[in-house]
Structure 1
Amino acid sequence: MSNPIRQWWTAPDHFEWLSSYLVTRGIQRPLSVFVGSSVLFLGFIEFLMMHSPSGPSGTAGQVGGIVIAVAASAVMAGRLVEHHPILAASKFLNAFGVITVIPLMCQALLQVLGPDALNSDTDELTGLLNRRGFQIRVSEFLVSPERPTGEHLVVAMVDLDRFKQVNDTLGHAEGDAALIAVAGGLETGMGPRSLVSRIGGEEFLIAALTGDDDATSIAEGLREAVLAGRYGLTASVGAVAVPLVDVVASRAAEQLEMLIRLADEAMYDAKRAGGNRVAFRSVIGEL
């Protein structure tokens, strides 16, 4: 096997992006059941054929039946070659394509799309998750049977105040550097029990776990993390908290969208109040 082919064949498949897609759409289990049932159905057909009254009986007879079927196929192929070589060649190519070419093409397609699908979850500038990646990761957590139901999930929206002035006075390159610095500060400040994403422009979306329903400390921590940066920026922060026990796995994606909307509305409340502050929304009547 030549080196390029070996590299292609042994490269990672990145099937996790496909699994993540199926999980977030809520169809992973139904699709798994469908595929498994299809395989069992096809196997059952062969089982019935091997054990039908008119079929071969006993282990030797069944093995002999398989050998005879293969031999008969070979004889038929030989006669086709003798009398209809073009038909024989087309039948061979058709079978070869179904058995080998199509699976190889599927494998090649996954190899090509896998890295792009993984990168499509990431913000190119900061290296944080983008909105899509954030929704996938949080949704996977919310539908997991191992999630800690005794805790609360806080979703926060962070929008940098008057960030356009940075681009206008210092230039876009320095503006990009400021965004990267803010991203690093938010990740460092939030710790391992959180997920930080940049969803566009100067907006960041965060999810964090906390032991109670008080989102104040997390929201204030985000505001202070931005303020402590070397660019002297401020931020408007909106946050909402929900008990994990109230999140229904079958409605996880819908409820997450609701939390993001509430956090966004609270962020605009903070911005209208002058910025550099936090605001909150309640999930009462929303779940």
Structure 2
Amino acid sequence: MARPSAWTARCGWRRANATRDTAGTCPRLNHISARGEGSMSTLSSVVRSVRLWWAIPVDYWWLVGYLESHLLARMARAVVATFSILFGATAILLVISQSGPHGVPGNVLGGVTAGVSLLWAARWSFGSWPQLWLSQLTVVLADGCISLLCVQTDDAVVGLLALVGFVLTTAYTVIFHGPKLLLLHMFWVLASATIAFGRMWSTGAFGGDAGAIGVAVLGGFAFVVTPPVVQLGFWMMRTDAVESGMDPLTGVLNRRGLFMHVDAMESRADADPEAVIVVVAIDLDLFKQVNDTFGHSVGDEVLLRTARRIQTAARETAVLARVGGEEFVLLDVMSKVDIAPMAERVRHAIGEPAERAHVTASCGAACVAVADWTTIRRRDRTAVLETVLMRADRAMYDAKRGGRDRIVVDAVPVETASIE
């Protein structure tokens, strides 16, 4: 069974503590006591969330998949590529400016930084999404180049201003990486800012102005503290979003999660305009007898086993959701001639022998043509998917009435013109 999310655990802990009996003889003392317990609960919840945030592995590929499923991957790649080009152009401008790094070390550093930045921009524009280790290495190298460029500049003020480059690497690390790399990054930023600040102090750039010094210290503190807080909040919202779209028992999507993946079909549909978007409704036969005979715990095992068997039998591109007690839905893009063989593989996989509580399934399939799907306005796609799902349900019930443990395919694509 899937583990509860940090958000669920945190809220559950708070609810449990909120029900404590604080009754006593003095209403005012009771009020103070309840308020104190509420403060302790909040503090403990924050501590627990921070510990979970720190301990959970980086889900780098989840974010990549999320961006791709919401058609945001191309925009994200363009943003990173643009920042890389600006980073390289800034390195070149620093080298050719009067206050920038000079001499062989400075020129080499600027040239290497500019060259690597342009290569990285090309990688993001035309290559595949970088592996996790390459993304982490890029953050480390970029941090090192920014610090060296700051130290190499002749003008201490320009060197301090060059620290603005850390804004880009900080934003990238907050979004794509976990707390450990972010902490290492922020320590590096703090050390670099301290060195730059010390250079300016030694040159008398502050002129003994206590206000300027206070603003510099406050800005540095905010720059170091804000990113971890933002990443923690981003992680909590992301965890809540993931769990709200997933079935906690089987770990596959729930009905809401299925409809969140509607737009993801567009990018896959472009690959074959002659294909169809297929919805397969899968319902376990006589599942109530499993619960009545073996108990609900065994029924849960059957549902979990069924989800795993469906995933094994379906293609890797398929999207699986549990939309009811014992009903699953499979969503995929394929040729019409492949619908029946795919549904038959799924039906056969579910009905394979099991140690206990053997079950079979009835499957119904319906589809919509890719050529029609790509012309539908995005706001109308949910209605179209609902119609295809209704047709698949109807075919599934036809399979049950036909004797169960069989498939029925509605091969006539849904007419989208009548739905819009």
2:208 pairs with 1:79 = yes
**CA RMSD, Structure 1 to Structure 2 (Å):** 4.7
Q: Is residue 152–residue 242 contact of structure 1 (8 Å, CA) maintained in 2? A: yes
Alpha-carbon distance in 2 for matches of 1:279, 1:144: 22
- In structure 2, the gaps of 5 or more residues are 1-52, 102-152, 161-196
Alpha-carbon distance in 1 for matches of 2:376, 2:57: 31
The residue type paired with residue 241 of structure 1 is C
What per-residue deviation string (whole Å, max 9, x for no partner) do you get for residues 222-246 of structure 1? 4444444543534343311344454
2:326 pairs with 1:180 = no
Q: Is residue 240–residue 262 contact of structure 1 (8 Å, CA) maintained in 2? A: yes
SS at 1:100's partner residue?
helix
SS at 1:233's partner residue?
coil
TM-score by length of 1: 0.65
| Farther-moved stretch of structure 1 (258-267 vs 198-207) | 258-267
Pick the aligned partner of 1:125 from 230, 249, 253: 249
Alpha-carbon distance in 2 for matches of 1:43, 1:98: 27
What per-residue deviation string (whole Å, max 9, x for no partner) do you get for residues 177-198 of structure 1? 2212322332333354644332
Equivalence for 1:285 = 415
Alpha-carbon distance in 2 for matches of 1:145, 1:242: 11
Alpha-carbon distance in 2 for matches of 1:253, 1:170: 44
2:331 pairs with 1:207 = yes
Equivalence for 1:155 = 279
Give, in angstroms, the shift of residue 167 of structure 1: 2.0
Pick the aligned partner of 1:274 from 401, 415, 419: 401
Q: Is residue 71–residue 264 contact of structure 2 (8 Å, CA) maintained in 1? A: no
Give, in angstroms, the shift of residue 176 of structure 1: 0.8
Equivalence for 2:341 = 217
Structure number having the greater helix percentage? 2
SS at 1:219's partner residue?
helix
Give, in angstroms, the shift of residue 126 of structure 1: 2.5
Identical counterparts, % of pairs: 27
- In structure 1, the gaps of 5 or more residues are 1-7, 51-57, 82-86
2:292 pairs with 1:168 = yes
* Aligned residue pairs, count: 266
Equivalence for 2:13 = none
Q: Is residue 129–residue 198 contact of structure 1 (8 Å, CA) maintained in 2? A: yes
The residue type paired with residue 14 of structure 1 is D
Alpha-carbon distance in 1 for matches of 2:85, 2:397: 59
- The higher-RCO structure (CA 8 Å, 6+ apart) is 1
Q: Is residue 143–residue 250 contact of structure 1 (8 Å, CA) maintained in 2? A: no
Pick the aligned partner of 2:364 from 216, 230, 238: 238
Q: Is residue 206–residue 213 contact of structure 2 (8 Å, CA) maintained in 1? A: no
